[in-house]
Structure 1
Amino acid sequence: MSPGKRRGILIGGALLVVVIVAAALFLLNSGGSAPEAATGATAVESPGALDPTSAITEYLQDLSENNPDAAGRLTDDNAAAVVALRSTRNTLNPVSVTGKLTVLQPTPAGAKKTSGTFSLSWTLKPGQVWTYDVPFELAQGGGRWLVHWAPSLLHPKLEAGQRLVISTAAQDTTAVVDRDGKPLVISGAGGVKPVEGNPAPLLRTAITGQITAAAAGGFAVTRVDAGGKSVETLFGKVAAEGAKPLVSSLSLAAQGAAQAAVDGYQGSAMLVALDTGSGDILAVAQNAAAGNAPKALNGLYEPGSSFKIATAVAAIQQSGLSAASPVDCPGVATIGTRTVKNEGFELGATTLQTAFARSCNTTFGQLALALPADGLKKAADELGLNADYDIPGLKTELGKVEPAASKDEQVEDGFGQGRIQASALGGALMAATVATGKAITPRLWHDLETTVVKGYSPPPAPVLGEVRKLMRAVVTSGTGHAAAAAGTVFGKTGTAQFGDGKQATGWFVGYRGDVAFAVVLENSNDSGPAVQLAAKFLKAL
């Protein structure tokens, strides 16, 4: 029987007894007339349990099931209990917690207090199980039994103002550094914390979560005072001084430039940067408007015309085109049964390079329709958008590109407005693949391996040589001209409408030297701000 069902039976049974007794007394006093239904009043259940055993048993069940709100309601200090239980659980981050009642003193009739002992067992990580006994007290109030709250319910030595933390070093030491050896995370008697300024807030959990697993055996639960000073190590042992810090792929310089760039934008903005040679994730940044969830790493959006990189790969590789090939770019065209429009321009007879640079939808809708049904998917596969990686500490999604279900959908896919999806990380990976001609394996660590769940093979070198010409023209003479002052930048803009078409996501995907990047602006309705944001980032580097 589940805890909830057992609790419901206890409470329900007690209420039934109360109702039967009340009804019997009424009948005795009124000569047998049935009572009229009460109106306008609803009984509110008081906190606590009907008997001592239920109170402590249910408290331990809620504690084990990670339900601090329910456990707190079974104590005589709900607010303090909930805060302490939730904070401790989040800090120790256990695999599981088990509480078991071991001793409960008999409760004579009429007694208002009792006490006992329960055991608490924390499975903190494989092979690290911390078990100890905890004395407790129960008191009755208003006919209900409550657990008396005190910090010692978390550990018998824990006093008011103190807390439990995970420690990996006897004193503050650098636990994680960036790729250049600059400190990112400090670990010590006060726990694990980022360096001043919290330079990579989106990756804080990912980074700190890997520390204890790689800290050369250092792992301890420490009791600290209100100021974070260690009072006593309660479990495990700290690492010996001089333990080697983990090396992350992040660059503090790139991360700072990326964060400053997105913070300077009023709407929702995200930016990911990769090292094209090593696959290092150099920066992952979002501003406050984008929220706290790491959408830059796993949020999937229609990529709009930034997906024309893949359409160009497919047209060059599968249809035999080159950057200089003649194409047609009318302002409006009926392609299949779809009416496709450009953003207020037409080029007429032109070249693939110019159509790409100016982002001509009618050209790329026609190119897509001429491909096999799986032609765009094959190109997306070769650019890594359907790849999958297991990066320690991160949940990532690169993209989702499937064969078109119809010719109309194939036309829309050609300029990224069909069912095509990509993340900012996927966009940066696509750009890095074009830059290097190699399959890129993104990584967050130099010490911990990224697992390739589903890899990919890049397009042939001659194909990518033509695509690079197209991407350079975007900046020198096309829609990405605002990035020209940031150096030799290669890129592709994109604007993807969604919903009822009144809102659109802005993209700029590209690379400069050994840095590939993707900027995604939610609801920007224009790719121009994305280009400007990328230029700001690149200039800061």
Structure 2
Amino acid sequence: MDVSGHFGILADMVSSRILAGAAALLLLPLAACSTGPSEEDVAAAFVNAVAAGDAVGAANQTDAPDQAKQALEAARRNLAPTAAHAMVREVTEDAQGTPTARFDMSWDFGAGRVWNYSNELKLVEQEQGWKVRWAPAVLHPQLAAGQSLAYREQRPDPAPVLDRDGKQLMGPEQLITVSLSAQEAGDVPGVAASLANALKTIEPAITQQSILDGVAKTPQGQPYAVVTLRQGDYEQVKSRIYDLPGVRFPAQTRLVTTERGYGTQVLAGVARVVDQQVQANAGWRVVTLDAAGQEAAELHGVAERPVAPTNVTLGDRAQRAAEQAVDPVPQAAMLVAMQPSTGEVLAVAQNAPADAQGPVALSGQYPPGSTFKTVTATAALGSGEAGIDTPVECPAEKVFDGRPLPNDKKFDLGVVPLRTAFAHSCNTSFAQLAVDMPGEALTDAAHQLGLGVDFEMAGATTITGKVPPGGSTVQRAENGIGQGTVLASPFGMALVTSSIAEGRMPVPTLVRGAQTKADATPQPPAPQTLDQLRTMMREVVTGGTATALNGSGDVRGKTGTAQFGDGTHSHGWFVGYRGDLAFAVLVTDAGSSGPAVEAAKRFLAGA
């Protein structure tokens, strides 16, 4: 047996294995010396760029940057997340030896709406180093070629708004928006003229020029919303506008009042509360879209929840009475009514000239004029320095540090009881009362009655008013008759009369079930102070400046004429209460309190 031959074969085998091992050892350092990012680095850079919304950065980590960039930008645009997060869990080789990164993706759409899923991506080595192998499925495993991701909100229909007795004031209705695309219209002036001519019977303010101005202000590529119409109004003009080039008619379900022009300002705020409820109950979905923008599949969904009806404190009867009271007035006129025992707002009405100025019944600031004498009287009676029968001087005019303050038409009552000076609205008497009190006296008395208190009330933004301390004799005199630096809204004066009627400041509410926050809870005036004031307010009606209300029941109130501007114009006020119904009426630029008293009479007849 030739042993040496066997040993020769064995030696060759060993040599081969050693050489192979040596070759492997020689190769390993070459790989270890690579300076490019690893598979893990590239995978992490890609998913982090996707999460950050950096489409260019993410696309540059792929082997098809142009395709990837286009798809990533579309996904970000259609998903519109508030935030996104991604994390690579591991990088392993698949059965074919291809590096595969597994990662978690999270899209946050706000309001607790988060979409989480796991995915994977493949990596390929190119001359530039490792790259993500691009495919739409890199964004989501079910995303096919030619598709994109999109977020969809599913809003439930708004529920009706019901008054204090359960009567519907607002309900959901399909509205049609008439929109104009300048790019599609061609002859924009011609289309605008046709639209204006058709729509003027419904919205007289729409003209060819107003449409052209709106188009000019609208960002390029976006349609201009000309008007939003109720279904019935749309049907009236449809045949005249439907075929106009560039005009489109998107529809949506919105909450609208039962009648056009009903409760315009106050119910607009309530509608915003309902919209918040709709938003809170909205469902949402993530879908895939095909190349035509149509939904291909749903990837994730949360169903919407129904919205319960909203109950408000308004009363349909009181609201209609208030609107019928102010609608005939040619000047801007407004009325706010409140229930003193609860603070519930019963009516907020404005006529068309007032509506053009916004929700001024709730937040407009006006000099309250002689209606503020309710506050001056509260301060004087509360101080103990004056009583209802205390004699006071009521000359035709009085001068305070060089500033003459006359009575209306310079009437002169001589010396009369305080109650008489109040009933006939003697400026000189109440200016003197204010001058004789400390500068903070009117501020404190106004605060006791709610004037100057701020509220966060669901459904409405309100400003009661402001009563700065009187820093000088003239300022105290002017403030004492509701001029000077004193300002109030009709809402604020309705709160004042509610406080007088109830004996404390009620916290106003508009939406039932929603708590109003007040920045203060003032101590009320003494009961004996308010008893005297209520008697004085009754005498305004029975024998003073508001005798026109003598047949309207047990009304207690105060008239007011408030100069503004250069002093040649004045607003007219009446504030008062009857039983558990308090209210304030303002007619701007009325010249006297007469129109406000007449509006109050109409209101009380229907309330």
Q: 3-state SS of the aligned residue for 2:497? A: helix
Superposition map of 1:45-56 within 5 A:
none
Q: 3-state SS of the aligned residue for 1:192? A: strand
Superposition map of 1:178-257 within 5 A:
178-187=163-172, 190-198=252-260, 199-214=262-277, 218-220=281-283, 237-240=303-306, 244-257=308-321
Is the aligned partner of 1:354 residue 2:420? yes
Q: Which residue of 2 aligns with 1:416?
A: 482
Find the aligned partners of 1:524 and 1:188 in 2 and give their Cα distance.
39
Q: 3-state SS of the aligned residue for 1:209? A: helix
Contact 1:322/1:352 (CA < 8 Å) preserved in 2? Answer: yes
Contact 1:323/1:351 (CA < 8 Å) preserved in 2? Answer: yes
CA gap of 1:524–1:100, structure 2 versus 1, over 3 A, is farther
Q: Tell me the CA shift for residue 324 of structure 1.
A: 1.7
Deviation per residue, 1:53-87 (Å, 9 max, x gap) = xxxxxxxxxxxxxxxxxxxxxxxxxxxxxxxxxxx
Structure 1 or 2, whichever has the larger Rg, is 2
2:365 is aligned, of 270, 284, 300, to 300
Q: Which residue of 1 aligns with 2:558?
A: 492
The one-letter code matched in structure 1 to 2:336 is V
Unaligned runs of 5+ in 2: 1-51, 83-108, 117-147, 175-251, 286-296
Unaligned runs of 5+ in 1: 1-97, 132-154, 159-163, 223-231
Superposition map of 1:21-36 within 5 A:
none
Name the Cα RMSD after superposition: 3.2
Contact 1:214/1:246 (CA < 8 Å) preserved in 2? Answer: no
Is the aligned partner of 1:276 residue 2:344? no
Find the aligned partners of 2:388 and 2:467 in 1 and give their Cα distance.
24
Q: Which residue of 1 aligns with 2:192?
A: none
Q: Tell me the CA shift for residue 235 of structure 1.
A: 7.2
Q: Which residue of 2 aligns with 1:470?
A: 536
Find the aligned partners of 2:167 and 2:498 in 1 and give their Cα distance.
25
CA gap of 1:193–1:236, structure 2 versus 1, over 3 A, is farther
Contact 1:496/1:506 (CA < 8 Å) preserved in 2? Answer: yes
TM-score (norm 2): 0.60
Find the aligned partners of 1:496 and 1:235 in 2 and give their Cα distance.
60
Q: Tell me the CA shift for residue 221 of structure 1.
A: 7.2
CA gap of 1:125–1:197, structure 2 versus 1, over 3 A, is farther
Q: Tell me the CA shift for residue 251 of structure 1.
A: 1.0
CA gap of 1:221–1:485, structure 2 versus 1, over 3 A, is farther
Find the aligned partners of 1:115 and 1:403 in 2 and give their Cα distance.
62
Is the aligned partner of 1:286 residue 2:350? yes
Q: Which residue of 2 aligns with 1:117?
A: 74
Is the aligned partner of 1:259 residue 2:323? yes
CA gap of 1:166–1:185, structure 2 versus 1, over 3 A, is farther
Task: Tell me how many residue pairs correspond in the alignment.
Answer: 398
Find the aligned partners of 2:302 and 2:542 in 1 and give their Cα distance.
60
Q: Percent identity?
A: 37
CA gap of 1:486–1:166, structure 2 versus 1, over 3 A, is farther
Find the aligned partners of 1:483 and 1:509 in 2 and give their Cα distance.
12
Q: Tell me the CA shift for residue 399 of structure 1.
A: 0.8
TM-score (norm 1): 0.67
Contact 1:174/1:183 (CA < 8 Å) preserved in 2? Answer: no
Q: Which residue of 1 aligns with 2:375?
A: 310
Find the aligned partners of 2:414 and 2:597 in 1 and give their Cα distance.
26
CA gap of 1:292–1:362, structure 2 versus 1, over 3 A, is closer
CA gap of 1:339–1:440, structure 2 versus 1, over 3 A, is same
Q: Tell me the CA shift for residue 101 of structure 1.
A: 6.0
Deviation per residue, 1:347-392 (Å, 9 max, x gap) = 1111111111110001111111111121111111111101111012
Contact 1:106/1:114 (CA < 8 Å) preserved in 2? Answer: no
Find the aligned partners of 1:359 and 1:483 in 2 and give their Cα distance.
16
Superposition map of 1:360-375 within 5 A:
360-375=426-441
Q: 3-state SS of the aligned residue for 2:160? A: strand
The one-letter code matched in structure 1 to 2:571 is T
Find the aligned partners of 1:491 and 1:212 in 2 and give their Cα distance.
38
The one-letter code matched in structure 1 to 2:313 is S
Deviation per residue, 1:471-490 (Å, 9 max, x gap) = 11111111111222222111
Find the aligned partners of 1:114 and 1:249 in 2 and give their Cα distance.
52
